[in-house]
Chain A
C-alpha cells in the first residue's frame, strides 16, 4: 500500500536517494520540454508558443488521474499524502507577484535551475535574483506576516470546497484542460494571422 515512505517501508536516508532519482527525472523532462530556454517560456505569454500550458496541464492530468485511480482501488491512501495548506490570500497575492516575476525574468525557480544547468547565463543570474528575493522576503517578514497568514483554510481540497465528489471534480478538470488546449491553439493561430496582415 502506498505511499511507501509514510508506510515506513524505508527510512530518511533512502528517501534522499529517491529524491535525487526523482529530481533527475524531473530535470530531464523539464529540459526535454524546452523549459531551459527563457525565450520559449516567455513566448507563452504572447500567444506564440503554448508549450508551458500544454506540458503543465498534461502533467497535472496524468498525476491527478493516477492518484484517483490508485485511491479508487485502495492502493494509495490519499489521507497520508501531503496536501499543500491553503492560505488563500497569501497564495493569490504571492501568485500574482510570481507571475510578474515570471514575465520579467523569463523563468520560474525550477526552470531557471535547468536553464543554468545547460549553460544559460540568464538562468544563472535569475537564480541569484531569486536567492536575493528570498533574502529580502525574510528581512521584511515581520512587516508582512499578517498577509502571509491571511486566508488560512487548512489542507482543503477542491472536492470539499465545492462540496462535489472527487470524480466530478476530476472530470471537470479534464474538460477544462481539454478546453484550454483547444482554446490556446485557436488563439495562437488567430494572433499569427493578425500579425501577418
Chain B
C-alpha cells in the first residue's frame, strides 16, 4: 500500500482540539503522556528494587498501584490510535527517522539522549507538551503558557547548534 499524505495541519488541530475539549467536558481534566511513562517507570523499578523505590521521595509518590491510573489507560489508547491511523494510511514501517547527514547509529544515540533530557525536563515541569502545554494552554493555566514558551525557546535556541542532526 502506498503511503498516504498527512492531513492538513488545521484539520488535525481541530481534531486534536475537539478530543481535548471532550476530555474536559466528560472528565474535567485534559490529556497527557509523560505522567503515564513515569508510572510505568515506577512499576518497573518496584519490580527491580522495591525497597529503594519505596524509600525514594519522588518514586514513592507513584508507588501505589502505579498502573491503575487514568493516564495509563489513555496512553494505551494513544498507542492503539496511532497504530490504527498509521495502518489506514499505509505508514506502518520499521525504520529510523533521521536527517540526511547523520548515521543511523548516531541518530539512535541522539534519540536516547534527547529522550533522557526530556524525561528530566518533563518531571521538573510536572508535565510535557500534552499534559502541560496543550492542556494547561487550553485551560489558561499560567504555568502551562510559561512552560510552552520555554519549550519553544529552548528548542529554537539550540536548533542551530545541532542542525547537522536534521538538515
Contacts and interface: CB of A to CB of B under 8 A. Distances in A.
Interface of A: 2-6, 15-34, 36-40, 42-43, 45-46, 48, 50-51, 54-64, 66-67, 70, 76, 80-88, 90-123, 125-139, 141-142, 144-145, 147-148, 153, 155-159, 161, 166, 169, 173
A133 B151 contact: no
Contacts of B133: 56
A27 B155 CA distance: 23
Contacts of A39: 97-99, 166
A76 B143 CA distance: 22
Given A20-B77, A31-B91, A38-B97, A109 B122 contact: yes
Contacts of A91: 124-126, 132, 143, 146-147, 150
A87 B111 contact: no
B126 A54 contact: no
Contacts of A21: 77
Given A20-B77, A61-B17, A127-B37, 11 more contacts: A21-B77, A60-B17, A66-B24, A91-B143, A103-B158, A118-B93, A119-B95, A123-B97, A126-B111, A131-B115, A136-B120
B interface, over-half SS: helix
B155 A64 contact: no
A15 B16 CA distance: 19
Contact of B28 (A34, A66, A81, A93): A81
Given A54-B10, A125-B111, A23 B80 contact: yes
B77 A95 contact: no
B145 to A, nearest CB: 7
Contacts of B94: 119, 121
B149 A95 contact: yes
**Most B C-beta atoms less than 10 A away, residue of A2, A43, A97, A107:** A97
A4 B124 CA distance: 31
A120 B75 contact: no
A23 B19 CA distance: 9
Given A24-B84, A54-B9, A87-B143, A134 B151 contact: no
Nearest to A104: B114
Interface in B88-144: 89, 91-99, 107-108, 110-144
Interface of B: 6-7, 9-31, 33-34, 37-38, 40-41, 44-45, 56-59, 70-71, 73-86, 89, 91-99, 107-108, 110-159, 162-163, 165-167
Nearest to A22: B23
Given A33-B16, A130-B37, A130-B115, A92 B82 contact: no
A48 B167 contact: yes
Contacts of B122: 94, 98, 109, 130, 133-134
18 contacts: A3-B29, A6-B27, A18-B27, A22-B27, A29-B15, A51-B9, A59-B13, A62-B14, A63-B24, A91-B147, A96-B153, A106-B111, A129-B116, A130-B118, A131-B44, A134-B120, A153-B142, A156-B142
B164 to A, nearest CB: 11
A48 to B, nearest CB: 7
A103 B159 contact: yes
Nearest to B118: A101
Contact of B141 (A2, A86, A108, A119): A86
A84 B147 CA distance: 11
A12 to B, nearest CB: 8
